[in-house]
Structure 1
Amino acid sequence: MALACQRNSYLKELDTTVKSCVAAEAKLLKNGKKETVKGFEVILEDTILFPEGGGQPDDRGTINDVGVLRITRRGAEAVHFVTTEIGAGTQVHVAVDWRRRFDHMQQHSGQHLITAVTENMYGWPTTTWNLGDRTCFIELDTPSMTEDQMTTLENELNSTIRAGRKVFPTLYHDKSDPDLAAARCRGLPDDHEGPVRVLTIEGIDSCLCCGTHVQNVSDIQVVKLLSVEKGKRKNSVNLHFVCGDRVLEYLGRTLQVEKSLTVLLKGPLEQHFELADKAVKGYKASNKTIQTLLRDVASLEAAKFKAQKEKPKVFIYHRKDGDLDFMNTLIKELNDESIVTIVTAGEDKGPGLVMLSGPEGIIKELGPKVMELLEGKGGYSQSRFQGKASKLQNRGKAAQLVQDILQATNQTTTEATNQTATEQ
């Protein structure tokens, strides 16, 4: 028996009974990270909440106003994960998050339509698909797809949507039924139980599918094909698309970007590419000039240090707009491995870069200790210790640590002083 959501995907509410409720744990995504959550697995006599499957994500909704955090399939049953116990035998009212559900219906039915029409027009079967948060894609068994082919396909898809075709599921209890054998199929899951469900787009396609779908292709509203890129499989491409309400959302985001770029580039949409290209070239030229000037500054700072009659054995330098190229240039221009050199780059209070050079034994000892004070990580290679720090404001403590260690190992003399070069 199919679930209520599969028999009628437009049901938004359902009264049913709890069959079982057992304590369980689930790994759920929270703030971009998976966390183990304690709760309960609830199985209902029937449900309008779709469990993930067939490439379609699971629904969201409530059971007696208790939020359902995940729905999975176990054999022929849907397992609802909640954090509040709902005892077996309880009469419950189930409601689905309709906005999420209808979005999935539009994208999934749109995928079936795109897959069928593409194969009919070009002979390219779909090998897999993905229903993402904002856009979707199908992977096509073809090494390339041209802009003209994409435009022709999009026109045919939207013409079919405007004409309207019924979309309906059929349950086959006999797996040897010849009509079932004629349907497109990538195979059934190993734990499949019960009848086989086939989704039909009238006059266009029949395909095995467990997902929720619209009743007529007109409910897909519109299809927009976005782009083509190489697929993961050899000789395949990914065709990205959006359907229905996602087209309006995509258009809304695009308009916001257009407005922002119009203000930033001081020109209308028709000139955005030309103005952006000009800005990028200007940025690259300016960045190249800055890099040259920074190398000149590094050379001058090194020359100033070397010009001292009595050079100290420790040289510490910080520059907030420095980078690795600047740091390497400064140490290279100093050209004295007997001097312990610590160069940092980045904002005074925040993350940044660290580089140490000098006698190998000392630097290998100092490096990890300095990085610990600066709350960073790094390693020794080619006579230098290099790393990234998260707290450059602790540079003073690092400088004092260096002095203490050098004095303890008798690597400095009483005349040696610590010179701290500061950015002009």
Structure 2
Amino acid sequence: MAFQCQRDCYMKEFTTTVVSCCPAELKREVAGKKETLKGFNVKLKDTILFPEGGGQPDDHGSIGDVSVLRVTRQGAEAVHFTSSPVEVGQEVQVKVDWERRFDHMQQHSGQHLITALAESMFGYKTTSWELGRQRSNIELDTPCMKPAEVQALEEAVNDKIRAHVPVNVQLLNVEDLTVEEVRSRGLPGDHAGPIRIINIEGIDVNTCCGTHVSNLSHLQVIKFLGTEKGKKNKTNLIFLTGNRVLKYAEKSFTTERSLVSLLKTGPDEHVEAVDKLQKSVKLLQKTNLTLLRDLAVLIAQNFKNDPERGNFFSFHKKEGDNEFMNIIANELATEETLVFLTVGEDKGPGLFLLAGPVGLVPEMGPRVLEMLQGKGAGKNGRFQGKVNSLARRPEVETFLQQHCKHHTSEEE
């Protein structure tokens, strides 16, 4: 069957009946972390919420006052995952998140238009496409696309948008001979009911289950952001359609205005200004590294020149790195002296190095890791790693001093 969302892509609200509601789980990924939600799978007599398919993500919306978190297709039925149950047999009002839906309509119809003209103009067939959250891309069966071709294609698709070309939807029976003449990537194995045809008049006829605009003018504009190398000698053409172009322009202008304020130059001079800044930063980093190395040597020499120095040395510096600590350790006679060095925030994360007598360091290293909540390893009289907190550094110093004295008394 064709759902109401496929018969009328512009419908924002719809009244229907709940057919079934049963407990279910939804596995999803949020901010890179996988989670499992407990909820309910709801089936309706019909729906205006599009289940994912044809490269298009599913709709968001609500059934009554219950939010729909996911919509999937099972054969001829759409399954709505909700966080709360819905009464079976109840007549409900279904609403679609229109901003998300219309965005998907624009990107999907834009893909059909680009695909058709890329093939007719250059013979580049579309092998796949992705409707992303911020931008979309079409995979074209060509190793590369010349800049002149990208420009010509962009001009052509926008000419068709300005021409107000109608986009029609047809439902055909599987036995209809017309189906064999339609461009198609094949039907899913569980397809049921009539075949849906999207016809961009005079440009493209294609089988598709997704939601589309009714006229190319509703796409507003298409902007190509460039190309990237794809898989197996193919090219990804990155594009924005409609409202995404407006949002991209607004974001770009906001960024440009911020850069004008920070760099104290006009937009045309931003690249040059940033290049100068990067060179200055590299020079400063190089100078800072040299100074840190010299400081490390001086710190070690100052300790060695102290007539009252003991057999324990501890030092902390907020700015520094592993090289800074290793230079100090190399300058000191760690065969006789236990050295505890740290860099980083006083009570925040950082790095540490423990160096000293071979028989003492392997014993003390794991305990230091535990106290500083860190991870590390050691060999040849050195133990070093990363820590989550340097707040207990004074405790570590006391602990090491005590064991250092104990080790010295045992040797005597």
State the TM-score, normalizing by the size of structure 1.
0.92
* 1:319-355 CA distance string (max 9 Å, x none): 1111222222222222534433222111112111222
* 1:191-221 CA distance string (max 9 Å, x none): 2222222222111112222111101111111
What is the alpha-carbon distance in structure 2 between the residues aligned to residue 3 and residue 38 of structure 1?
26
Q: 1:59 to 1:310 in 2, by over 3 A?
A: same
What is the alpha-carbon distance in structure 1 between the residues aligned to residue 347 and residue 226 of structure 2?
43
Q: Are 2:312 and 2:404, in contact at CA under 8 Å, matched by a contact in 1?
A: no
What is the alpha-carbon distance in structure 1 between the residues aligned to residue 325 and residue 180 of structure 2?
69
Deviation of 1:313 after TM superposition, in Å, equals: 2.6
- Kindly provide the amino acid, as one letter, of the partner of residue 169 in structure 2: P
Moved more, 131-140 or 244-253: 131-140
SS in 2 for 1:393: coil
Aligned to 1:149: 149
- Kindly provide the amino acid, as one letter, of the partner of residue 322 in structure 1: G
Aligned to 2:367: 369
Aligned to 2:97: 97
Q: 1:190 to 1:337 in 2, by over 3 A?
A: farther
Aligned to 1:51: 51
Aligned to 2:338: 340
Aligned to 1:189: 188
What is the alpha-carbon distance in structure 1 between the residues aligned to residue 409 and residue 148 of structure 2?
77
Aligned to 1:419: none
SS in 1 for 2:392: helix
SS in 2 for 1:22: strand
Moved more, 113-122 or 18-27: 113-122
Query: Which of the residues 247, 251, 270 maps onto 1:253?
Result: 251
Deviation of 1:19 after TM superposition, in Å, equals: 0.7
Aligned to 1:412: 408
What is the alpha-carbon distance in structure 2 between the residues aligned to residue 282 and residue 91 of structure 1?
68
What is the alpha-carbon distance in structure 2 between the residues aligned to residue 23 and residue 364 of structure 1?
55
Query: Which of the residues 228, 232, 235 maps onto 2:233?
Result: 235
- Kindly provide the amino acid, as one letter, of the partner of residue 376 in structure 2: G
- The reply on whether 1:168 has 2:161 as its aligned counterpart is no
SS in 1 for 2:24: strand
Query: Which of the residues 238, 243, 265 maps onto 1:267?
Result: 265
Aligned to 2:130: 130
**Aligned length, in residue pairs:** 412
Q: After TM superposition, list the pairs within 5 Å mapping 1:14-413 onto structure 2.
A: 14-30=14-30, 33-174=33-174, 176-231=175-230, 233-309=231-307, 311-334=309-332, 336-380=334-378, 383-407=381-405, 410-413=406-409
What is the alpha-carbon distance in structure 2 between the residues aligned to residue 296 and residue 9 of structure 1?
70
Aligned to 1:4: 4
What is the alpha-carbon distance in structure 2 between the residues aligned to residue 205 and residue 167 of structure 1?
9
**RMSD, aligned CA:** 2.1
What is the alpha-carbon distance in structure 1 between the residues aligned to residue 180 and residue 29 of structure 2?
39
Q: Are 2:311 and 2:404, in contact at CA under 8 Å, matched by a contact in 1?
A: no
What is the alpha-carbon distance in structure 1 between the residues aligned to residue 253 and residue 353 of structure 2?
45
Moved more, 68-77 or 244-253: 68-77
* 1:79-128 CA distance string (max 9 Å, x none): 11112211211111101010110011101111111111112222222222
State the TM-score, normalizing by the size of structure 2.
0.94
- Kindly provide the amino acid, as one letter, of the partner of residue 158 in structure 1: N
What is the alpha-carbon distance in structure 1 between the residues aligned to residue 263 and residue 236 of structure 2?
32
What is the alpha-carbon distance in structure 2 between the residues aligned to residue 376 and residue 34 of structure 1?
26
What is the alpha-carbon distance in structure 1 between the residues aligned to residue 86 and residue 396 of structure 2?
58
What is the alpha-carbon distance in structure 2 between the residues aligned to residue 237 and residue 325 of structure 1?
44
* 1:208-250 CA distance string (max 9 Å, x none): 221111011111110010121222x121222211110010100
Q: 1:86 to 1:389 in 2, by over 3 A?
A: same
What is the alpha-carbon distance in structure 2 between the residues aligned to residue 173 and residue 358 of structure 1?
83
Percent of aligned positions that are identical: 51
What is the alpha-carbon distance in structure 2 between the residues aligned to residue 380 and residue 123 of structure 1?
61
SS in 1 for 2:185: coil
Deviation of 1:21 after TM superposition, in Å, equals: 0.4
